A and B are shown apart, each in its own frame.
Chain A
Amino acid sequence: MLIEARGVTMRFGGFTAVDAVDLDVAEGRITGLIGPNGAGKSTFFNCLAGDYRPSAGSIRFAGREIAGLTPESHARLGMARTYQVPHTFTDMSVGDNVMVGAFLRHRRTADARRAADAVLERTGLAGQARHRASSLGTAGRKRLEIARALATEPKVLLLDEALAGLTATEIQAAITLVRDIHRSGITIVIVEHIMEVILSLADRVTVFHHGRIISQGTPGEVTGDPKVVEAYLGRSLERQRQRAAEASG
């Protein structure tokens, strides 16, 4: 296993957001984390990425304990992440944003430039390389964050709601990009609350509810799990029913 999380717990004051979660991420897979809002998936994700130090539990990455290490150590060890709300460096050009990532493995400017150019090409951003990052829309910024993370040459890419807020065509383009990155041998962990998307993308899905894992398996297994239907789909089905009732009434 590339990532092994055991008993990961995150408490904020008296509130337990993530409660003793065990999770394995196999190398070369796309693992999806889903769950209703406030289920703890994002908190758990931030523990994986090193943005939060878990209150308890162990996270091993390639056999090495990483719980409590800084975000920058995570990056050096080969974990890269994106943010739900993109944190691009808006005053810098698109190309320079990617350069920042590339400098992690390439000290010299010329080498970093070459590595960054390759990533820009691959992510379809080469045409906008000289534009300011602030000129990009949401989809462009999310793509840029992925490019910047890729430039750090990670073993695993952690995507936080990479598709939220995108239009249907943009989602298709993003999925193509994620698949392409995956094919190049990078393990992917993706948090998403758009269920349909993740089911088509992920090899394995983990469902969070109230800070715990309630179901794990292939997309088919998970959607067939009554607990999931109740916790997640049930709610949206119920909402749909309500909406239908309102519309007809």
Chain B
Amino acid sequence: MARFVLAVAIAIALVFPLVFSGAFYERVAALTLLYAIAASAWNLIGGYAGQVSVGHVVFFGCGAYGAAVAYSEWGLPPIAGLPLGVGAAVLLAALVGVPTLRLSGHYFTMATVALAELIRILVGNVPVLGAAVGLMGPAVPRSVWDLSFTSSLPYYYLFLAVLAGLLLFTWWMERSRMGFYLRAIKGSERAARSLGIPVGRYKLYALMLSAGFTAVAGALYLVMVGFVDPDSGVGILLSVKMLIMAALGGAGTLFGPLIGALILVPLEEISNSLLGGQGSGVTFVVYGGIILLIAVFQPGGILAMVAGWWRKS
């Protein structure tokens, strides 16, 4: 049954943009996958290990700015900045993770808030990073390596491949010792330690992996959108989106973040195109409300709710 559902889902994912062609659909579909990548990356530390980061946009920004700098400083194709972005993200992850992951989860969450604010102010004032104005990718593609396409279709398949890779990794991790250890840590750190789990170390691994994958999403974002500024690259909204998509679909489940992205991204794109730019404040109110409701009534998200119905029927 599960296998059948999965096969159908993959088939739909592969043919979707061919059936629903048109610039708007393709763009929304590609963005959905991009956010699904970011949210699935957040899920590694926030969902599986239960350490809530509300500053993940910093890692996303590392990827986006890494790619942008590769072009603006060295004239390379943006994607060549990927290792730089991933490296910076993993380094920053260690900077917050090493001291805080030894402590209770509150410290980690607060540190991610502080890091995000710190980086946002710094980025807005550093000329190499374009300060408040931001950085552009190549305006006209110079070679195929610039990955600059007018249609969203190539991005759709690129993101689909990356998402598949990330989910495959997560699937493998879920079944390995690391996956068990992370879930144990989420359940009870004290019991986890008494079973011989080096808790701080595993949380740090999860954070560094999560940061690295989030940076990949950031670099892909720049490749597609071709522009990054402090708001789009390191603004708080994006951190919130990653968190809420994972939580809505089901934090700590393989497909939860993807499901969250499938619901929220089209919803937001459609409401934006209907309301114009007016909607963003309301979006936040709604997001806040959704997060609140999930926390109070269904901490497991949609997947847990469906699983509950399944068991009952």
Q: State the A residues within 8 Å of B (CB).
A: 49-51, 70-72, 74-76, 80-81, 83, 87-92, 96, 99-101, 103-104, 107, 109, 112, 145, 148-149, 152
B194 lies within 8 A of A100 (CB): no
The 0/1 profile, CB within 8 Å of A marked 1, for residues 193-208 of chain B is 1111111000000000
- Smallest beta-carbon distance B301→chain A, Å: 12
Nearest B residue to A81 via CB reads: B194
Interface residues in B250-287 by Cβ distance below 8 A to A read 252
A148 lies within 8 A of B183 (CB): no
Residues of A within 8 A of B191 (CB): 83, 87-89, 145, 148
A109 lies within 8 A of B186 (CB): no
Interface residues in B175-214 by Cβ distance below 8 A to A read 175-177, 180-181, 183-184, 186-188, 190-199
Name 20 interchain pairs, CB-CB below 8 A, sorted by A.
Answer: A49-B194, A71-B194, A72-B193, A72-B198, A72-B199, A74-B194, A75-B194, A75-B196, A83-B190, A87-B190, A87-B191, A89-B183, A89-B187, A91-B183, A92-B187, A100-B183, A100-B195, A103-B180, A103-B181, A152-B196
Residues of A within 8 A of B180 (CB): 96, 99-100, 103, 112
Whole-angstrom CA separation of A100 from B181 in the bound complex: 6
- Smallest beta-carbon distance B43→chain A, Å: 15
B177 lies within 8 A of A51 (CB): no
Residues of B within 8 A of A72 (CB): 193-194, 196-199
> Using a Cβ–Cβ cut-off of 8 Å, how many residues does chain B contribute to the interface with A?
21
B190 lies within 8 A of A148 (CB): no
Whole-angstrom CA separation of A83 from B176 in the bound complex: 26
Whole-angstrom CA separation of A103 from B177 in the bound complex: 6
Known: A72-B199, A103-B177, A107-B177. Is A80-B183 also a contact (CB below 8 A)? no
Extra pairs beyond A107-B177, A149-B194 (5, CB < 8 Å): A72-B198, A81-B194, A87-B190, A89-B183, A89-B188
Q: State the B residues within 8 Å of A (CB).
A: 175-177, 180-181, 183-184, 186-188, 190-199, 252
Whole-angstrom CA separation of A62 from B32 in the bound complex: 57
Whole-angstrom CA separation of A100 from B199 in the bound complex: 13
- Smallest beta-carbon distance A178→chain B, Å: 18
Whole-angstrom CA separation of A129 from B184 in the bound complex: 16
Nearest B residue to A87 via CB reads: B191
Residues of B within 8 A of A89 (CB): 183-184, 186-188, 191
The 10 closest A-B pairs by CB, nearest first: A89-B187, A75-B196, A87-B191, A71-B193, A104-B196, A87-B188, A100-B184, A103-B177, A71-B194, A72-B193
Residues of A within 8 A of B177 (CB): 103, 107, 109, 112
Whole-angstrom CA separation of A149 from B252 in the bound complex: 25
Whole-angstrom CA separation of A171 from B231 in the bound complex: 62
- Smallest beta-carbon distance B225→chain A, Å: 37
- Smallest beta-carbon distance A15→chain B, Å: 22
B183 lies within 8 A of A75 (CB): no
Residues of A within 8 A of B196 (CB): 72, 75-76, 104, 152
Most chain A beta-carbon neighbours within 10 Å: one of B176, B184, B197: B184
Residues of B within 8 A of A109 (CB): 175-177
Residues of A within 8 A of B188 (CB): 87-89
Whole-angstrom CA separation of A145 from B198 in the bound complex: 19
